[in-house]
Structure 1
């Protein structure tokens, strides 16, 4: 059997193989081109699908709009009553349209213009606008809001004008202030220079009474400070003021004593110079003579400032008959205010001496031996008993003020060791204390009911009870 004829690649020449390859490539290209020409373009182009899908609705909308434009709609004329709206009917702008849930039909009517006009009139009168979205159109609400804004702007403008007017009334322009400051020739003075100027003004013969009083009044402000008071002493101003106590003018005496009282207070150096300058004698003379009550108040203030914590001045006070002067002052009519101040001074002097006596017994090192020796020479308690102050103090319990009674009770307690026998033999004092005890028991009960366990009136009652207990 003969073998079939086959051709192997090895049997073909290279030129023949090249020719066959080209023919095969042309055949494949022809087939591909033929297939593309007979296929639907939409199956291979995604972009074409999108274009076709978007263009189709646009065409439909255009057709609908053209149909609507060509169609003439019937305009419905609403009234003030609800009427059914047929399909295809148009309504005028500003009409009120609703859906009737029972029938499913749309209904329309006109707006209530009268109500809107009435509300706008009420707005002009300051009444509140009844805003109902079911009644008014947006244009009506915009108009009402514009009126609100216009009114607010007017009120804001008025407030701004009022505020500017108030600022102009309270403050001056800065240019005016600068001009005045430039015209002023302000000289800054030290306290020392000011006091020298005030003393010269007071001591000048050309100064009027008003100028002298004004100088003393200003000087009192500065001498409250200890250093200033000592500076006043250093340039001789203190003696000038002390000499002012000899003036024939009561006002000069009054304000000179006012300055001295401020300078003496807790200032030992000034107190010593005042004693040497004769201030104590001058103060006692004014208190012993007829003077206005206001002048005696200031003089008594200066005397108290001079005597407190100054045993040497207390010795001189007793030698010059100071207790007798104070006794006459208390016994004057219509001088209850001075009487309370005198009793307060005596209480301070008695307790001060008792305190130093206790310190002397304890051999304390806080007080100088010289000062303790001076206190030993102050025989205040015997002088009070001899001058009748036990009886005078007891009678002052008749004063009506609680504060005055408190000070008198304190003084009675301080004088108890010296005046015990006299107190026990004084029937008027016993009656007064019993009456005060009953009075303050009632007041303390009311005070306790108000929730004050340790009130002021209860303390006064305790002082009365203690005094009665000591006198039994």
Structure 2
């Protein structure tokens, strides 16, 4: 019998094999945990490590990573909802938020969202408990309950299903009629209840009547009159209120305020008049019949502060726009001469710009009237308006009254808006002023200089990526006027 002897180290290898397998598994688990980018921290809520009641969380890349062993006795930091300073050597619970204070150089810690969410009630602040109690007290409805409620709402709003909502078909059921009457109260009862509460309910007509009565009273002081005019200005923006003001005789009171010796009353009265005239043909006609045009021109001729003349120009422009009859009387009564004197007296350019803008609007609205081919069936007054506009010789009067040399002076202003208004007016006046433009050699030189200036501005905006800018529009206006001067 042959005996085979085993090598002396075979038994030892057989014992070491399980140990190597356990070490390999531990190494693989350690490598996997290192690559996860986070560490698991298990901290007992009472400050110890481990235990039965634990809070678990992960600390992200922006948070401090602390790994606490089961046999280590560390000083565990207990964060709250507020940022607190972390001392060196202190461990952190999982999920805590950590930041570095750049001013102090210290790390600060507070509870993370998950920690706040799963904190026990005894650790939560009164604010959190109050918020949770409010959320719990809110009523919750099931989907079926919501569907039934929506169905009832539709039935209540449907006239076919709810007879109270259909007054055209009287319901023979007296119960339905009683229920409808019980939900609404008569107007007289409401007025009586308001009177008992000492509440005064006034319509706009009643308010304007009261304001005009107080304005016409001799006991009212200047400050009171200014306050009354301010309230009237707010009301007359509505077309109906402005017409009611005229029927009450308020227009005469406003025109009387323009003749006042107090500049503040003149300004406020002109403001009210301009607001009432704006886009209101009925008031425009009554104002011309009451002599408002002569009053406004007289106010512009007399020595007045700048702020008064601005409001008077506003009222004059509101009276003339879209009203050829008033424009005809304006030209025939020397309105262009009054504006020319005002233009020459204004050194700041504010009144000049307003005057030039008004003249431009009057020229263009007449041109648009003759260009528009409105159907006489849909607009029977179109032919009458064309006939009235044909009587207004505004272009010829502008050339005769020296406006062909006055408007170009506005180009010398440093304001882009003033130059734009002047260029548009010069182009509109070109049919009557082109010959006089050529007699002013400085005008062509000024246009060339302005073109170079605005081309540089356009080039600068193109570098910044801006296209179709405001300055490019001014260059186009300069080119258009330059063509008309050739």
Displacement, 1:373? 2.4
State how 1:43-62 maps to structure 2 within 5 Å.
none
Change (3 A) 1:124 1:252: closer
Q: What is the alpha-carbon distance in structure 1 between the residues aligned to residue 457 and residue 387 of structure 2?
A: 46
Q: What is the alpha-carbon distance in structure 1 between the residues aligned to residue 456 and residue 346 of structure 2?
A: 31
State how 1:21-420 maps to structure 2 within 5 Å.
115-116=74-75, 126-127=84-85, 130=91, 152-153=124-125, 185-359=198-372, 366=379, 367-420=381-434
- Whether the 8 Å contact between 2:366 and 2:389 is mirrored in structure 1 is yes
- Whether the 8 Å contact between 2:78 and 2:93 is mirrored in structure 1 is no
- 1:441 aligned residue: 455
- Whether the 8 Å contact between 2:77 and 2:93 is mirrored in structure 1 is no
After superposition, give the CA deviation of every residue in 1:382-425 in whole Å (9 maximum; x if it has no partner): 21111110011111111112221111111000011111011112
Superposition RMSD in Å = 3.5
- 2:190 aligned residue: none
Displacement, 1:152? 4.4
The answer to whether structure 1 residue 451 and structure 2 residue 412 are counterparts is no
- Number of residue pairs matched by the alignment: 334
- Whether the 8 Å contact between 2:121 and 2:129 is mirrored in structure 1 is no
Q: What is the alpha-carbon distance in structure 1 between the residues aligned to residue 50 and residue 312 of structure 2?
A: 96
Gaps of 5+ in 1: 1-93, 98-109, 134-144, 161-180
Q: What is the alpha-carbon distance in structure 2 between the residues aligned to residue 209 and residue 125 of structure 1?
A: 62
Displacement, 1:269? 1.3
Change (3 A) 1:149 1:286: same
Which of 450, 460, 476 is the equivalent residue of 1:462?
A: 476
Displacement, 1:121? 12
Q: What is the alpha-carbon distance in structure 2 between the residues aligned to residue 368 and residue 309 of structure 1?
A: 12
Change (3 A) 1:218 1:130: same
- Whether the 8 Å contact between 2:363 and 2:394 is mirrored in structure 1 is yes
Normalised by the length of structure 1, the TM-score is: 0.63
After superposition, give the CA deviation of every residue in 1:335-372 in whole Å (9 maximum; x if it has no partner): 41111010000001111222234458x99664443332
After superposition, give the CA deviation of every residue in 1:308-354 in whole Å (9 maximum; x if it has no partner): 11111111111221111111111114441111010000001111222
Displacement, 1:120? 7.2
After superposition, give the CA deviation of every residue in 1:39-81 in whole Å (9 maximum; x if it has no partner): xxxxxxxxxxxxxxxxxxxxxxxxxxxxxxxxxxxxxxxxxxx
Q: What is the alpha-carbon distance in structure 2 between the residues aligned to residue 203 and residue 124 of structure 1?
A: 67
Gaps of 5+ in 2: 1-47, 52-69, 95-115, 133-193
Change (3 A) 1:311 1:120: closer
The answer to whether structure 1 residue 432 and structure 2 residue 435 are counterparts is no
Normalised by the length of structure 2, the TM-score is: 0.62
Change (3 A) 1:149 1:130: farther
Displacement, 1:380? 1.1
Q: What is the alpha-carbon distance in structure 2 between the residues aligned to residue 457 and residue 214 of structure 1?
A: 43
Richer in helix (by share) = 1
- Whether the 8 Å contact between 2:411 and 2:422 is mirrored in structure 1 is yes
- Whether the 8 Å contact between 1:244 and 1:256 is mirrored in structure 2 is yes
Larger radius of gyration: 1
